[in-house]
Amino acid sequence: MDVMTHSSTFLLPGNDHSSSVTYALVVLNQRLPRFTPILWDHGSVSLVAFSFFAFCLPPCMRERDKVFSFGFWRCVTAQLRACADGGANRLFDEMPLLFPRDDALDVRHRYKPDIIKGDMDSIRTEVLDFYTNLGTKVVDESHDQDTTDLHKCVAYIRDFAPNLDKSNLCILVAGALGGRFDHEAGNINVLYRLSTTRIILLSDDCLIYLLPRTHHHEIHIQSSVEGPHCGLIPIGMTSVSTTTTGLQWDLTNTEMRFGDLVSTSNLVQGEKITVQSSSDLLWTISIKRV
């Protein structure tokens, strides 16, 4: 079974262009984490295109003035930061609060979403007008009441770059937790419905993502910004057998299910956690207030 590696380097300032992971950002309608500007800086999708150019060889190398064509790959970085319609309100209202010394209008111009997508029942008129005037694309999907705004945004991102290696795509979701529990449950359900896409739900206090049973997992802990509290939680089915290393209370072929044992309030003990399970599990870890 293949190993899937995970790391929360997106919580660290700066964009590591040597990383094989490509990030996109979605903003939902709960309170923005204080580190949203860091997530914003990471939220770009690299598109790879094939280009042709033609030129004439120098006279000493020409053969009857033949023109030769050559091709080369070029990498174009396209920013991709999507807002649900309620998330646009949060971005408009709360991003300036993260920069109290800056002019609010300047902040809103700097942090302009590339697309606003959803059922458009939450966005305020002045917010919609403001971003539309800045060139933000708006997609009204009020006809689709069977998927959540998060699902709609993730689907857009996956279709945005059809040539992108989706195995290296990671979608960061700010404002995904807190507030109404039914919204949180809906966001967690998206992790399961779109389990082949890496999606990380984020709040000020914690993050959540899915560990698919199709892989063994290595989680590399960024101890300066996350931990030590963590949990492994099965939802929807029993985990007949889960084995871990690197936790205060490791599991060894342990059965977990709701109504019985689940691994909450655990603690990380090192820089690497390994997880192997017979079912999909949610991984959650606390985020430090540094």
Amino acid of residue 120: M
Q: How far is CA 262 from CA 182, 201, 219, 240, 248, in A?
A: 21, 20, 19, 12, 14
Neighbours of 19 (CB within 10 A): 14
Greatest CA separation found in the chain?
82
Grade residue 141 by pLDDT with cuts at 50, 70 and 90.
confident
Q: How many CA atoms lie within 13 A of 259 on its CB side?
A: 4
Grade residue 14 by pLDDT with cuts at 50, 70 and 90.
confident
User: pLDDT at residue 261 above 50?
Assistant: yes
Lowest model confidence (mean pLDDT) among 105-114, 141-150, 176-185, 224-233: 141-150
Confidence (pLDDT) at 179: 86
User: pLDDT at residue 68 above 80?
Assistant: no
Q: What is the pLDDT of residues 123-136, one digit of tens each?
A: 999 999 999 999 99
Confidence (pLDDT) at 112: 94
Task: Give yes or no for a contact between 93 and 156, defined as CB atoms under 8 angstroms apart.
Answer: no
Confidence (pLDDT) at 12: 93
Tell me the mean pLDDT in the region 189-209. Answer: 96
How many residues are there in the chain? 290
* Whole-number Å distance between alpha carbons of 51 and 74: 7
Q: What is the pLDDT of residues 203-241, one digit of tens each?
A: 999 999 999 999 999 999 999 999 999 999 999 899 999
